[in-house]
Amino acid sequence: PSSTTAPTAPEGRLGVVQASALYIAAVLGTGILVLPGLAADAAGPASIVAVAVVLALSIPLAGTFAALAARFPDAGGVATFVRLALGPTAARMAGYWFFFGVQFGAPVVATLGAEYLVAALGADRAVVPFAALAFLIVPLTISFFGLRVSGSVQLVLTGLLVVVVVGVVAITAPAVQTTNFQPFLPHGWSGVALAISLFVWAFAGWEAVTHIAGEFRSPRRTIPIATAVAIVVVGAAYLSLQVVTVGVSTTSTRGGRVPLIDLVSVTAPGVGPVVVAVIAAVVAVGVLNAYVPAFGKLAASLGRDGHLPRWFAKGAEPGCVPRRGLALVTVIELSYFALLTWRGSELTPFILIHTASMVAVYALGMVAAVRLLDRFSAGWWMAVVSVVLVAGLLVLAGANLVFPAALAVVALIVTLVKRRTRA
């Protein structure tokens, strides 16, 4: 396995700063809008420990994906790693899981941002679907102009996001009450376990940027640095938000549908809603702007490798815009959004399909990493640890793995059909 070589390709154009911005947006995500309040409800002050634990656990996972992406920068991302280690059928499964399964999260992100924006502005909730559709269309449109434009936009969005998080913490810090940190374990360690499971969603996303790793200059240098920067920024953001959430809010203010509004309103009742509206807009567009190019590149690579019709293959190369793949992404995401709207914007089933598909991708990706990375190297050890962690996530996913299982069956059928056709 250590002799496996990466696909050769022209070097990309995105540097460390833009790569870091994409990583931060993909991982920080919409979790900042709801998770600090939910975790505080679940574990009280000990939710701060939950953040620290999940941050520590995410390091080997992030490090493994960084090692793989740096060594094998390709539009296929995890599907490429799996193909090199486990063969084309397993790669087809991983590709389908990410492309068709993880995309269920796109309308969820758009709707969460819209819910927050509408609530912060005091508008009628009937506006939510229209605002969500706008959040979805903007990054889809930007992506057709290529990653140079998308990456520059992402740099601005991530910069705004970090500034807003710092602003929220600065505004609310004076209202922190030390009495709110007692008792430290109001719901016992079971509450901490629940908070940890919530924050797994918050620290997911390291795999998304692997699909555009070929767009980075000097991937072996850029990707590890960008990953390290993202870990520090995301960890600091969630830890600081969790501290002020516990220190400022009460049980009544944490129970709302938009907890950050209640949080900033404590010390800035006039400015607070405006700040939260900015957060919602920046987060929703920023997360989607990080994921959409990844989905487009993956569609092109799946076409290139014969897992989708070869018509979609155009644009898989670094520096090229996969417009045909992005067209397919647009159709899928708008279809998923229509389904979500038809179901009354019930987010839970879409979140479960998204997370189960992501965990399935992680599972094959970590097994591939153990086979591909140099044995006993730092990346290999992180992969070994990650295999154990992901096995636990698979157990937690349980019955929600039905959708990935169905896609796996489709991948097997495609393999059988292709073999019969060749015969």
Q: 65 or 146, which is more confident?
A: 65
ω into residue 183 within 30 of 0, thus cis? Answer: yes
What span, in angstroms and rounded, lies between the C-alpha atoms of 347 and 261? Answer: 21
Greater pLDDT, 199 or 118: 118
Q: Per-residue pLDDT averaged across 260-277, rounded? A: 64
Burial 342-357 (b: 16+ CB within 10 A, else e): eeebebeebbbbbbbb
| pLDDT digit string, tens, across residues 334-393 | 999 999 999 888 877 888 888 889 889 989 999 999 999 988 888 899 999 999 988 887
What integer pLDDT is reported at residue 329 of this predicted model? Answer: 95
Query: Would you state the pLDDT for residue 203?
Result: 66
Q: What pLDDT was estimated at residue 11?
A: 53
Whether pLDDT at 281 is above 50? yes
- What is the pLDDT averaged over residues 402-412? 95
pTM greater than 0.75: yes
Q: DSSP letter string over 97-137? A: IIIIIGGGHHHHHHHHHHHHHHHHHT--GGGHHHHHHHHHH
Q: How confident is the model at residue 10, as a pLDDT?
A: 47
Specify the pLDDT at position 211: 66
Tell me the mean pLDDT in the region 70-84.
84
Query: What pLDDT is attached to residue 268?
Result: 60
Q: What is the mean pLDDT of residues 232-243?
A: 87
Report the alpha-carbon distance of residue 28 to residue 291 in Å, rounded.
Answer: 12
Q: Is the pLDDT of residue 252 over 70?
A: no
CA angle 339, 360, 371 (to 5 degrees): 150
Measure Cα distances from 357 to 165, 369, 392 in Å.
29, 18, 15
* 75 vs 299, higher pLDDT: 299
Mean pLDDT of 193-210: 71
Mean per-residue pLDDT of the chain: 80
The residue whose two tokens read 């434009």 is 149
Token reading at 271: 């400015």
